[in-house]
Structure 1
Amino acid sequence: MHSVKQTFAHDTWVMPYLRKYKWLLVLVLFLGMMTFLSAAALMFNSGYLISEAARRPDSIIYIYVPVVLARGFGIARPVFRYAERLTSHNWVLRIVSDFRRKLYQAVESKASAIKQTHQTGDILSILADDIDHIENLYLRTVFPIVIGWLLYAFIIIGVGVMSWPVGLLMALLLGVIVIVMPLLSVAVNGAREFKQKQIQSHFYTNLTDEVLGLTDWVISGRYTDFMALQKAPIDDIATLRREDHHFQWWRGFAVQVFFLAAVLTLLIWSGATFTGSKGMANWIAAFALALFPIVEPFLEISQGASEWPVYQQSIERVNDLSNDEPTLPRQHELTAPVQQLKVDHVDFKYAADDKQILTDLSLTINRGEKLALLGPSGTGKSTLLKLLLGDQTPTKGTVSIDGTSVSLLQDQRAQLFGVLDQRPYLFDTTVMNNVRLGNLNATDEQVKAAIAAVELQPLIESLTDGYDTVVQESGTRFSGGERQRLSLARILLQDAPIIILDEPTVSLDPITERQLLDTVFDVLKDKTIIWVTHHLAGIEHVDQVRFLENGVFDMQGTPQALYRDEPRFRKLYALDAGR
């Protein structure tokens, strides 16, 4: 119980919708109750009808009313069942819509920094499982348990009014089914379900990482190792599911045994109570049969309860995703053209780590200037880019555009920055749609002009479907250089004044790399460019070079001055030139 309260202490996914759709919830519960009460009434009436018909087979007048009631209850049960299913799924469809929008807003609000706290597989797990689990929480746990408890209370009160000792005995027998069995299911099978969910979640994360690195697995010839990594968690999940099925069978058998005991109790009590006359004997079968339709919701209580640990983890995961949304300060807006990007005496270290990443960095980039940022891996280049974009806030110092901190310009981010990284994503849609993402209001002519500017017009127009060619998932229809050019066309349409190039040529061959760099710096000649690179090919395109090492600028200056004055620069340049 404590864990349940703790789960919902700061919940923003489950309880708000119970309150928002409370009257629809009341209707669902009412219809569910009426479904099983109609079924119980049908069996009760049928027991009386059969007994009365056997006692007086010569005259239908004595059983006319029970016959009519049998027809009425027989119609009422499927009608209430259909209405209950329709209403409960209406509930689910409403919250599905709310969930999808809420999840999108949670991810979108922190999209720029989400990779810092979640792996790709984590997000896929939330999308694939956690939202579905919260939807099922209502259909498979909340509704059945509440309806089952209401029926339990109805039966105990109804029998207790006629005989409190029998009512007490029924409370004990049925209490094992609706209270003890669910608690046992949570303790035994719930732990197994929780473990299965953990394995499955880790499997999503690991499989995503391995698929993203599939090329390396293939090149290294480690196909067997790759398949073994996938097989182990699948076998573990299969084992847990077999154990789950065995437990469910024994639990169902135990429920049926206690239910049989409850039926026998009613049968014995009614046999002792309603034998004063032949007419009263008709009620014996009626009371015994009335209990049978109730077994279905009682079985669902234990199954729904056993799944609670899985739902609990899902609720906590989605709440963790949405409740830690960053709070942005009041945003400003730049109206004049951007003139200067400035890094002023910036220090930075991550909150969870005392290691200093950047130390007293200062940098000024004026409008139209081109800067190359070089340095070994792990020296802080990626961190500096996050500071420039506003994904991170300096521990000390400021990062500003024309005197305004970038943290106050996040509403204008898409208008200020364009980013071309190592693996720009292309969606499984047409060339036109992919490029138009840079500016959704761009005309077809403007999109085609951007494609022509990046020198892809001859290629695209030579294809059978031309600009309507589907690029396929991740742009696999095109080569690496062509994907970069399509992404560059997207940036041209975006028309942001500051462009960040995050090693866009790292996976390209030298000839393609040179051609792409020439194109990039030609079509972006009027833009401010910050180019992160790991070598010096194409360095002549920039106005200044900064070497970042151990969190500080080790070398800085124009390419010409560094080549003239720095032996280390000349050595690196020679290595990249293949000398």
Structure 2
Amino acid sequence: MNKKMMLKMRQTFSEDSWVKPYMAKYRKLLYLVLFLGFMTLFCGSALMFVSGYLISRSASLPENIMLVYVPIVLTRAFGIGRPTFRYVERLVSHNWVLKMTSDLRVKLYRSLEKEAIFFKGKYKTGDILAILAEDIDHIQNLYLRTIFPTLISWGIYILVVIGLGFFSIPFALMMLLMLAVVTILMPLVSVLVNGARMYAQKTARNGLYDQLTDAVLGVGDWLFSGRKHDFITSYEASEAEVRDYDEKIKRFDRVRDFLVQLCFGLIALAVLVWTSTVFQGNHGGGANWIAAFVLAVFPLIDAFAPIPQAISELPIYGDSVERMNDLPKIDDSADEASERALGLTEEVFQELQIQHVSFSYEETNKTIIDDLSITLAKGEKLALLGKSGAGKSTLGKILRGDLMPTAGEITINGIPTYEFGDGISNWIGVINQNPYLFDTTVLNNVRLGNIKATDEEVIAALYQVGLGEMIASLPEGFHTLVEEAGGRFSGGERQRLALARILLQDNPIVLLDEPTVGLDPITEQRLLDTLFDVLKDKTIIWITHHLQGVNQMDQVIFLENGKIEIFGTPTELLATNERYQTLYRLDRGE
């Protein structure tokens, strides 16, 4: 089991496309961090080494203060150097990690945004919470607590062995083996024993996210069914499992830390015996070096002691990296396409093409859109009708680039809509059934369409949609609070405010997704008249479920089972198509 885990972890890190790229991107800062960390530990050990020599030499009552002047200067230098290097190393390492995790979060959000529409079908909400709440922090700790300390410690390890080799090769080899227990054997045992427990603990904790998410989203059902105690019992059992893993991990950590300290005690004793043998009989104050070498061992604990704990956490990081690598890959070419969509004017738009588009959801494999082809030139207006489930809303999502067709493509001026990313909002404006209005002023709500718009431009848009005089007559005028979700205004007025936003956006294409649902017939007709009058120069795709106002469209399409069943101008269809005539009479209540 542990062998499989190690192989899986190795494969995960070797195929990683999330963490490794940033090591190359910020490699100069990475090298600086490693150098500063090395210098911090070097200065700490050198400080103790020189201090030991200085104390021992001073105790032998030197004839002249100049005999210990150099150790005094070095003690001050290393004493100042250690906290200085440590402070700078912390600044640089955290700067490096924050740069990396900042890019990582942007990449994560872009990846999630790309598949936002599939969240319910592809991902558990608990898994997404686990990524956002823990995995980014784990990746951050991967560097601060594992990679940096381990690389720095190995560098010190090599330097210590080489340095001792100048005095005694046999003793250097012995230190090579003794330090290997702390730097290699202990970390390996920690990964095999505690690493598996940490991985299981993280899996159990992620299960808690799933349970808690289900409970929050379905809290009403738990309460209404009278089974809240069942949920609490189940959740407490899962929590107990996590706590059990936590206790086992801490118990192992205590035993391992004791063994690490014991190893350093043996190393210090070995250094004391060796220096006593080598230097005790030397003339010229050779015994002064005994304290220097022994004291120099203790700062090494700061370098080597964290390695077993840090390495044991690798399975957690591996799980986080694997989870993030399973997310959708980001195509940088989409950024280039998005750039092409910025700063475009209506005059640039020429044609929207729906070319042999088909779509089906992976979960059900049911075809929603089946080989659909439509072409809309600039200024054309299309009514898209059909009963519920016919594919109208799905086609609207594909038009905006929220969904990618399983076959065919939708293009604006030859560019597939999904490639525009956020830039699609420069092309297609949307007025849906329930436009959201925020609890702020009318001016601020409408200005969402174009945050650079002046008050005069916003007010002009409100007059265009027929709200200017009414809002101007209110006590607070255009600074009237809309209230949460637009509660201050009626349904028709909320739709007109949304229309004012679209006017400020000045999109060449406007998608009307059943904006009149829930309105009475008179208000509906007035809103439609306003919409088509204000948007007369725009290309319009109107998703609707009935025929009121359809005579103002250039083309009418009736979808059924994802296919075009009726197509033509309103006049032609009313004159020649029997099914359209039936629908028209039913819609008018005749």
| Shift of residue 358, structure 1, vs aligned partner | 2.8
Distance 1:252 1:389, change over 3 A: same
Paired amino acid for 2:281 = G
Q: Secondary structure at the match of 1:376?
A: coil
What is the CA–CA distance in structure 2 between the aligned matches of 1:261 and 1:19, rounded to whole Å? 40
Question: CA deviation digits over 1:310-329, x for unaligned, max 9?
Answer: 33343344455473428569
Question: CA deviation digits over 1:223-265, x for unaligned, max 9?
Answer: 9489848777666555544444333333222211222121122
Distance 1:269 1:120, change over 3 A: same
Residue in structure 2 matched with residue 519 of structure 1 by the alignment: 527
Q: Secondary structure at the match of 1:522?
A: helix
1:120-269 equivalence runs, <5 A: 126-198=131-203, 224=228, 228=232, 237-269=242-274
What is the CA–CA distance in structure 2 between the aligned matches of 1:547 and 1:409, rounded to whole Å? 28
Q: Which of the residues 375, 392, 415 maps onto 1:381? A: 392
What is the CA–CA distance in structure 1 between the aligned matches of 2:418 and 2:69, rounded to whole Å? 80
What is the CA–CA distance in structure 2 between the aligned matches of 1:297 and 1:223, rounded to whole Å? 53
Question: CA deviation digits over 1:324-362, x for unaligned, max 9?
Answer: 428569889997586876656654446787543333445
Q: Secondary structure at the match of 2:507?
A: coil
Paired amino acid for 1:375 = K
What is the CA–CA distance in structure 2 between the aligned matches of 1:180 and 1:137, rounded to whole Å? 20
Question: CA deviation digits over 1:389-413, x for unaligned, max 9?
Answer: 45556566665668x5755994874
| Shift of residue 24, structure 1, vs aligned partner | 3.0
Paired amino acid for 2:253 = Q
What is the CA–CA distance in structure 2 between the aligned matches of 1:218 and 1:486, rounded to whole Å? 39
Distance 1:276 1:484, change over 3 A: farther
Once the two structures are aligned, what percentage of the paired residues are identical?
44
1:102-117 equivalence runs, <5 A: 102=107, 110=114
Question: CA deviation digits over 1:437-493, x for unaligned, max 9?
Answer: 323442222223334555666569858796496977xx5887895766554432232
| Shift of residue 291, structure 1, vs aligned partner | 0.7
Q: Is residue 45 of structure 1 aligned with residue 50 of structure 2?
A: yes
What is the CA–CA distance in structure 1 between the aligned matches of 2:247 and 2:486, rounded to whole Å? 40
Q: Secondary structure at the match of 1:357?
A: strand
| Shift of residue 38, structure 1, vs aligned partner | 1.7
Paired amino acid for 2:191 = V
1:415-494 equivalence runs, <5 A: 415-421=426-432, 432-451=443-462, 467=479, 481=491, 486-494=497-505
Q: Is residue 308 of structure 1 aligned with residue 314 of structure 2?
A: yes
Distance 1:358 1:171, change over 3 A: same
Residue in structure 2 matched with residue 542 of structure 1 by the alignment: 550
Distance 1:61 1:232, change over 3 A: same
Residue in structure 1 matched with residue 277 of structure 2 by the alignment: 272
Q: Which of the residues 15, 33, 44 maps onto 2:38? A: 33
| Shift of residue 520, structure 1, vs aligned partner | 5.7
What is the CA–CA distance in structure 2 between the aligned matches of 1:429 and 1:194, rounded to whole Å? 47
Distance 1:309 1:484, change over 3 A: farther
Q: Which of the residues 371, 383, 388 maps onto 2:383? A: 371
What is the CA–CA distance in structure 1 between the aligned matches of 2:388 and 2:49, rounded to whole Å? 81
Distance 1:572 1:49, change over 3 A: farther
Query: 313-322 or 74-83: which moved more?
Result: 313-322
Question: CA deviation digits over 1:190-219, x for unaligned, max 9?
Answer: 3344345445556667766876x5797699
Distance 1:9 1:565, change over 3 A: same
- 8 Å Cα contact 1:365-1:371 kept in structure 2: no
What is the CA–CA distance in structure 2 between the aligned matches of 1:236 and 1:453, rounded to whole Å? 63
- 8 Å Cα contact 2:441-2:478 kept in structure 1: no
What is the CA–CA distance in structure 2 between the aligned matches of 1:119 and 1:299, rounded to whole Å? 39
Q: Secondary structure at the match of 2:449?
A: coil
What is the CA–CA distance in structure 2 between the aligned matches of 1:246 and 1:466, rounded to whole Å? 66
1:388-403 equivalence runs, <5 A: 388-390=399-401, 399=410
Q: Is residue 289 of structure 1 aligned with residue 301 of structure 2?
A: no
Q: Give the aligned length.
A: 564
Question: CA deviation digits over 1:50-107, x for unaligned, max 9?
Answer: 3344444998666554444333322222122122222223323443454455556656
Distance 1:571 1:37, change over 3 A: same
- 8 Å Cα contact 2:525-2:548 kept in structure 1: no
Q: Secondary structure at the match of 2:367?
A: coil
Residue in structure 2 matched with residue 357 of structure 1 by the alignment: 368
| Shift of residue 373, structure 1, vs aligned partner | 3.0
TM-score normalised per structure 1? 0.76
What is the CA–CA distance in structure 1 between the aligned matches of 2:203 and 2:488, rounded to whole Å? 38
What is the CA–CA distance in structure 2 between the aligned matches of 1:463 and 1:549, rounded to whole Å? 50
Q: Is residue 323 of structure 1 aligned with residue 329 of structure 2?
A: yes
- 8 Å Cα contact 2:510-2:541 kept in structure 1: yes
Q: Secondary structure at the match of 1:371?
A: strand
Distance 1:202 1:284, change over 3 A: same
Distance 1:505 1:570, change over 3 A: closer
What is the CA–CA distance in structure 1 between the aligned matches of 2:139 and 2:454, rounded to whole Å? 42
Q: Secondary structure at the match of 1:437?
A: helix
Distance 1:352 1:200, change over 3 A: same
| Shift of residue 144, structure 1, vs aligned partner | 0.3
What is the CA–CA distance in structure 2 between the aligned matches of 1:399 and 1:221, rounded to whole Å? 47
| Shift of residue 34, structure 1, vs aligned partner | 1.9
Paired amino acid for 1:308 = L
What is the CA–CA distance in structure 2 between the aligned matches of 1:230 and 1:541, rounded to whole Å? 55
Residue in structure 1 matched with residue 3 of structure 2 by the alignment: none
What is the CA–CA distance in structure 1 between the aligned matches of 2:477 and 2:313, rounded to whole Å? 50
- 8 Å Cα contact 2:384-2:559 kept in structure 1: no
Q: CA RMSD in A?
A: 4.9
Q: Secondary structure at the match of 1:359?
A: strand
What is the CA–CA distance in structure 1 between the aligned matches of 2:418 and 2:48, rounded to whole Å? 70
- 8 Å Cα contact 1:48-1:282 kept in structure 2: yes
- 8 Å Cα contact 1:461-1:467 kept in structure 2: no
